[in-house]
Amino acid sequence: AQSVTQPDIHITVSEGASLELRCNYSYGATPYLFWYVQSPGQGLQLLLKYFSGDTLVQGIKGFEAEFKRSQSSFNLRKPSVHWSDAAEYFCAVGAYGTNAGKSTFGDGTTLTVKP
């Protein structure tokens, strides 16, 4: 069964500082991996995705993530955080084949940005 762990429940960074959000997954083959952002009371917005190829993927809003198969990780990074980045971030693993379209999410990391 696939699973996702986001070890950090809450992270606080200062505006302008760098950010790394951790994500570890469990999946039997090469996974589809996603990062989503959710503002309070809103749905999920896709930041970036990894299906295959280059293990460093670029997303919207200046985010990037690196897929590391040996560590079963897909950490999200941003070099300089803006106050508007404060939100909840979810990592997800998606299946393909017979389970295509069924995504499993972590419990999220809440990001607070200090002025």
Partner 1 sequence: DAGVTQSPTHLIKTRGQQVTLRCSPKSGHDTVSWYQQALGQGPQFIFQYYEEEERQRGNFPDRFSGHQFPNYSSELNVNALLLGDSALYLCASSQPTGEETQYFGPGTRLLVL
Q: How far is the CB of 17 from partner 1 (least distance, A)?
A: 25
- The residue (of 74 and 90) whose beta carbon lies closer to partner 1 is 90
- The residue (of 15 and 73) whose beta carbon lies closer to partner 1 is 73
- The residue (of 97 and 115) whose beta carbon lies closer to partner 1 is 97
Angle subtended at Cα 34 by Cα 32 and Cα 37, rounded to the nearest 5 degrees: 170
> Which residues bind to partner 1, rule: CB under 8 A?
4, 32, 34, 36, 41-46, 49, 51, 90, 92, 94-96, 99-108
Quote the CA–CA distance of 13 and 115 in Å, as a whole number.
Answer: 9
Q: How far is the CB of 15 from partner 1 (least distance, A)?
A: 25
Name the pairing type of β-strands 64-68 and 73-78: antiparallel
What are the helix (H) ranges across the chain? none
Q: How far is the CB of 12 from partner 1 (least distance, A)?
A: 17
Q: What is the dihedral of CA 25, 26, 29, 35, to 10 degrees?
A: -20
